[in-house]
Amino acid sequence: MTQEPDVNQPAMQAPTCPRHPDRVAMVSCQRCGRPACAECQRPAAVGVQCVDCVNQGKRETPRQVSVFGGGLAQGRPVVTIGLIAICAVVWVAQRLDPTVTDNLLYAPILSKEDPWRFLTAAFVHSPYSPFHLLFNMYALWICGQYLEPLLGRARFLALYLISAIGGSVGYELLASTPSSVSDQVTGWNTPTVGASGAVFGLFLAVVVLNRRLGREIGPMVTLIAINAVIGFVVPNVAWQAHLGGAITGGVCAGAIALLGRERRQWQWVALAGIVVVLAVLAAVRFESVHLPTA
């Protein structure tokens, strides 16, 4: 005997995706059990999870940080590569258009009029020979591969940029000033270019951080000593920028190391404070110089 269907009983409906109610979803999330369409499925260790559970899991997973509190930088040192690429592109532009150098170089006499030059000078190099660029970029590559994963990308970039500014400030603080109207060939009027100040900041940062970690510092100390001697022996080398960048990089690294990952939020406050100190030193030095008038 056949049984007539009960017209009052609702028909079985296929499950649908909560995010896309118009789509049939025959696969359930292994975490929450809700159906998920093909677009909302994400592969999991066992089965699949819906996109909502995956996002929730990311929020619940503790953020991985480096030994000094920065975000864990895995893979290629993209910040280091990016800085090298910028310097290389700028150098090509310098070769094609000499005004690029004029617009980005730093000289103490321009400190008040064009304060951005404190930083931009680190991205221009001597356009007459590639060796100035190549040496600095090689040093940046060696140090960057080590420091970027150690600090995290954001802190490494901050260290580099602040050291670059510190190099220019050091050049301003130690530059000789004109003693008469006719005395125009002085450090106050002499422009400087190059990433050397920032690179020296990385050099000393390696020493400070390795010291904190109990690692070997001898080879880096030797490298710094050799380059310091070169700065005094080879003509047309701005040793003042090297010294300023090295001190600034060492102070930045010291602040990061002392605060550590437990107080990593305060590291940014400390770095901002260093920038403020550099700005005050630059302003005070500029205002203290009284150039001779006719």
Question: Cα–Cα distances in Å, from 158 out to 22, 246, 288?
Answer: 49, 14, 29
Angle at CA of residue 134, ends 128 and 140, nearest 5°: 135
The residue with tokens 């901050």 is 158
Q: Which long-range contacts (CB under 8 A, 24 or more apart) does 60-66 make?
A: 65/152, 65/261, 65/264, 66/149, 66/150, 66/151, 66/152, 66/261
Other residues' Cβ atoms within 10 Å of the Cβ of residue 79: 20
Nearest of 93, 130, 132, 101 to residue 117 by alpha carbon? 101
Query: Do 164 and 197 meet the contact criterion of CB atoms below 8 Å apart?
Result: yes
3-class DSSP state of 24: strand
- Residue 131 CA to residue 128 CA, distance in Å, equals 9
Question: Cα–Cα distances in Å, from 286 out to 12, 86, 280?
Answer: 83, 30, 10
Adjacent-strand bridge partners of 28: 35
- Residue 195 CA to residue 215 CA, distance in Å, equals 26
3-class DSSP state of 139: helix
3-class DSSP state of 41: strand
Residues assigned a catalytic role: 196, 242
Rg (CA), the chain: 29
DSSP summary character for residue 189:
T
- Residue 163 CA to residue 147 CA, distance in Å, equals 14
